[in-house]
Chain A
Amino acid sequence: MTTATEQPPKTQASQRYFGRAMKRVEDPRLIKGIATYVDDLKLPGILHAEFVRSPHAHAKIKSIKTDDAKKLPGVVGVFIGDDINAKVGAIPCASPLPGGKTPEHTALAGARAYFVGHPVAVVVAETRTIARDALDLVDVDYDPLPAVVDPEKALEEGAALTHPELGTNVAFTWSLPAGDVDAAFKEADKVLKVRMIHPRLTPMALEPRGCAASWHPGEEALTLWTSTQVPHLVRTLLPGLVRIPENKLRVVAPEVGGGFGSKLNLYPEEVVVSHLAIRLERPLKWIEGRRENAAATIHGRDQIGDHEIAARKDGTLLAIRTKIIADVGSYWQLLTPAIPTLTGLMHCGCYKLKAVHVDITGVHTNKMSTDAYRGAGRPEAAYVIERIMDLVAVELGLDSLEVRLKNMPQSTEFPFNTVTGLVYDSGNYQAALEKAQQLADWPKLLKERDAARKAGRLFGIGLSTYVEICALGPSKIMAAGGWEWGCVRIEISGKVTVITGATPHGQGQETSFAQIAADRLGIPIEDIAVLRGDTATAHFGRDTYGSRGTALGGTAIVMSIDKIIEKAKRLAAGLLNATPEKVEFENGKFFVIGKEDNALGWGQLASEAYVAKNLPPGLEPGLEASSFFEPPNCTFPFGTHIVAVEVDRDTGQVSFVKYIAVDDCGKQVNPLLVEGQVQGGIAQSLGAALMEKTVYDENGQLLTGEFMDYAIPRAGDIPDYILGSTETPSPSNPLGVKGVGEAGTIAATPAIANAVIDALSPLGIRHLDLPFTPERVWRAIQEKGGRS
């Protein structure tokens, strides 16, 4: 047994924190087991809610009998759609598309249930156990209807309808015609056609969702604690739904156990729990079970793409024509229709295409809604374009690496305008590729493949030279504000409180924001506390998603500090008998040049600022400033992943020989946290490549409703990575950071896919759909004659 100190070691004020790998200040509470997640809240007199959910994919609800449940001792109430839906607003979608059709998304099911897990009734009881017991006593009489499961069949004439009142299963159509596609195809020496399916995935944050609401009758105000990435978006949306003013709602995201986009939403349960806490005037809590999480928390991906590719015989990629069928599930959640449009916008990847035409048809099915799952539309795009590069290379007999290099813009061409209308802020794609090749020991790796193939082994190498769109984003492209807010307060003691409108939930920004602030203020990091996740303290915010936290939230903090420094200079000038222009600020000290001995620190200035007896005329007391940062553009992180795999001919099992990841997320505030984001992202992406797929059967029954049926990677599935990075600062924010939360999730699936297909290529296999489970790979091998 050795000792560990409770706090990070004291550091010198002059030390630069930005760019240093530092352990996290948020960790002690988490590793001691004393952090507070929603289910850990202790509120006196709290009631517990449990939801009755539809076991059918599509059914008429003929009747709901609640009498027996209500008679159970300890049950406070049982509520069905008729009791609640008229009293609360419908669940909103922030990104509807013009011409789109979707039904009103009521909090509880009304006359019909539209997916397995659809909340039909809610039981409120004194304990969670009693509430669960009462679930079995609610008698719902269902009349099952044909379920719409296959999105392609759903588009056929005479298909059953998910929502009969809409008269169609088409939820929306969206087109992106960019450049002259027909002309580009006429130029082509080669036209390829391929269908690629990106399966539906389940986010599976380890902490399921949950919320607790408490009504304060005296103030007529509500506090909602919810396991969310977006407390500020919830505070914007929820008041109108539960009919209280915005200034009477406080939303708190306490410790949040993983999100990955699945908690970037406003869900029916949050509305129902808030409504009932007000109605019953008792605090009320609901904690999602894992089966509920798999069925009724958003899913991701689920696209079928038909692609036509035009290329010259030298490997120049000219154009892509794509038709995507996006299975959106039964309802539009917050961002449902927007996700596939991101796939369209990122269709070019990091290549100079002349033209792209993407047509997307969103289709309603009797399934849970799809929405933002880590990467959110971008993994689908990266997968398609990176598979296309390999397909083109194979078809033309060229090297896939050379084909990539041939089509990439040079670093001098940035900012680079894509044909789809995006402006890639900065990049040096060749440098990242070169570094990855070095780390992979490329020539040796190629020889290893040759030797393995000669010996009859299935050995493959895969590349992915991805680019992603992050730090979302300028308000003009976002549904409701793409800025971020921050506030910095020099307290009277000289200690510093930093408040961010971003809502980190595992990303570590209590540490990285303190690093940024400590450098700017010239003070030890220990003097800073970072607050987040509470709308009562973080007055504004657009929260954490789309790898935006550091680029936007970090910048808002820097802007606030700069305002404080300006004010402090005026204050110091008065105290030092100088004009503000003569006052310098360095390493946390304010002084007049030549009179450095007479410097004032933050402690002295803060004391003067709040005691306020010696303020220069016209200067307000206090040392606090807040800022909104409105970015001019998104950021476009990029990199190269190289993967070598070996496939077992007898079992179809894929094993990793080597995994190299070189990511360029611009400037890195804390490389240790960057590494963690990359590794975690790769693991999720590896899951999508090798094992994950959400499965509904032909009746719309969810077959992957548990960790027992839905495989996520375990420690034994993960190789040891070789990680590297390049640094191309972003011009879109003064910190030069790009964001790294989704890089691994976007990069890894295509790299692994390309490696597996490369391994199988000696058998004549050109494409296989995800995920590459042993069974799928084994069957593909068998179809090609398998073992000789």
Chain B
Amino acid sequence: MNTPVKIQVNGLLRKAEVEPRLLLVQYLREVCGLTGTHVGCETGVCGACTVLVDGKAVKSCTMLAVQADGSEVTTVEGLAHNGTMHPVQEGFWECHGLQCGYCTPGMMMTAVQLLERNASPSRDEIRHALDGNLCRCTGYSHIIDAIEHAAKKGQI
């Protein structure tokens, strides 16, 4: 039996009838067609599926779509505005903060939350904030550079 949900995704209110067991990440990928949010482990460890739900970074593989009913969700596709990249996206590009790109959307969503809470984090504070996001390619150094870069840009 399907359940109706109303979720605002990247500023657009979407209505759908979903299976109660449908994960938020499945809803975003399969119902909304927003495939920028990736699935890396389905156990909430790797963070590739991180999105913002009402402004908070959430691993969308550990949340059901029905739990997001009435919420505002922001995914990687919603980061840029009018074709202008978010400072975090710009930082990842400038500092070579990604290689294969699979963890990148989740990393960036976590970084957005960090910078909203702490506009000029130290490198160790960035490391701590990224504890729930795994990357196997970059070794994190350039990701930390990217977030520092974004923090500086955001202050101008």
Contacts and interface: CB of A to CB of B under 8 A. Distances in A.
A616 B34 CA distance: 54
B102 A31 contact: no
Contact of A676 (B43, B87, B99): B99
Contact of B100 (A208, A256, A681, A716): A256
B48 to A, nearest CB: 6
B130 A714 contact: yes
A290 B93 contact: no
A201 to B, nearest CB: 12
Interface in B109-142: 123, 126-128, 130-131, 133-142
B111 to A, nearest CB: 11
A205 B48 CA distance: 12
Interface residues of B, number: 64
A505 B101 CA distance: 9
A2 B90 contact: yes
A715 B136 contact: no
Contact of B87 (A2, A27, A33): A2
Nearest to A293: B41
Interface string B84-108: 1111011011101011111111001
Contact of B98 (A27, A260, A718): A27
Contacts of B141: 679, 718, 720-721
B136 A23 contact: no
A774 interface: no
Nearest to B98: A30
B75 interface: yes
A715 B101 contact: no
A542 B143 CA distance: 31
Interface in B28-59: 29, 33-43, 45-46, 48
B99 A32 contact: no
A31 B108 contact: yes
A24 B96 contact: yes
Contact of B38 (A34, A37, A718, A721): A37
Contact of A37 (B43, B102, B154, B156): B102
Contacts of B17: none
Contact of A257 (B100, B127, B142): B100
B96 A290 contact: no
A258 B138 contact: no
A40 B36 CA distance: 8
A205 B136 contact: yes
Most chain B C-beta atoms within 10 Å of own C-beta, residue among A32, A33, A255: A33
B148 to A, nearest CB: 12
Interface string A143-182: 0000000000000000000000000000000000000000
Given A4-B89, A207-B100, A506-B99, A712 B142 contact: no
Nearest to B77: A33
Given A1-B84, A32-B77, A675-B142, A716 B89 contact: no
B83 interface: yes
B134 A707 contact: yes
A676 B128 contact: no
A290 B49 CA distance: 14
Contacts of B46: 206, 290, 707
Given A207-B100, A290-B43, A715-B143, A31 B94 contact: no
Interface of A is mostly: loop
B36 A679 contact: no
Contacts of B128: 715-716
Contacts of A40: 29, 35
Nearest to B106: A206
Most chain A C-beta atoms within 10 Å of own C-beta, residue among B19, B84, B154: B84
Contacts of B137: 206, 258, 506, 676, 680
B138 A31 contact: no
A30 B104 contact: yes
B24 interface: no
A204 interface: yes
Contacts of B103: 206
B153 interface: yes
Contacts of B33: 42
A20 B41 CA distance: 37
Contact of B99 (A33, A42, A680, A712): A680
A600 B20 CA distance: 66
Nearest to A511: B96
Contacts of A97: none
A207 to B, nearest CB: 4
Contacts of A682: 139
Nearest to A714: B131
A23 B94 contact: yes
Nearest to B21: A129
Contacts of A260: 136
Contact of A27 (B38, B40, B86, B93): B93
Contacts of A508: 96, 99
Contact of B75 (A33, A207, A715): A33
Contacts of A28: 93
A207 B136 CA distance: 10
Contacts of A684: 136, 139
B42 A289 contact: yes
A24 B43 CA distance: 32
Contact of A34 (B77, B83, B134, B140): B77
A505 B29 CA distance: 22
Interface string A248-263: 0000000111101000
A566 B80 CA distance: 46
B144 interface: yes
A256 B153 CA distance: 30
A672 interface: yes
Given A258-B102, A680-B99, A680-B139, A129 B19 contact: yes
Given A3-B84, A31-B101, A31-B104, A290 B42 contact: yes
A673 interface: yes
A708 interface: yes
A681 B99 contact: no
A290 B99 CA distance: 20
Contact of A33 (B37, B130, B136): B37
Contacts of A676: 96, 99, 137-139, 142
B96 A673 contact: yes
Interface in A195-234: 203-208
Nearest to B34: A33
Contacts of B35: 33, 36-37, 39-40
Interface string A414-434: 000000000000000000000
Nearest to A257: B102
A507 interface: yes
A257 B29 CA distance: 17
Most chain B C-beta atoms within 10 Å of own C-beta, residue among A6, A256, A290, A679: A679
B107 to A, nearest CB: 9
B3 to A, nearest CB: 15
B123 A4 contact: no
B41 A2 contact: no
Contacts of A290: 40-43, 46
A31 B89 contact: yes
A34 B48 CA distance: 15
Given A33-B35, A207-B40, A720-B123, 19 more contacts: A1-B81, A1-B87, A4-B84, A4-B90, A27-B93, A27-B101, A33-B79, A205-B102, A206-B48, A206-B102, A206-B134, A258-B100, A289-B42, A290-B46, A673-B96, A676-B137, A676-B138, A683-B140, A718-B140
Interface of A: 1-4, 6, 23-24, 27-28, 30-37, 39-40, 42, 129, 203-208, 255-258, 260, 289-290, 505-508, 672-673, 675-676, 679-684, 706-708, 712-716, 718, 720-721, 744
20 contacts: A2-B90, A2-B153, A4-B84, A4-B93, A6-B85, A32-B85, A129-B21, A206-B134, A290-B40, A506-B100, A508-B99, A676-B138, A679-B140, A679-B141, A681-B139, A683-B139, A706-B43, A712-B136, A716-B131, A718-B140
Q: Across chains A and B, which 9 residue pairs bring their CB atoms closest together, nearest first?
A: A33-B36, A257-B102, A683-B139, A506-B100, A30-B101, A33-B76, A506-B99, A679-B139, A40-B35
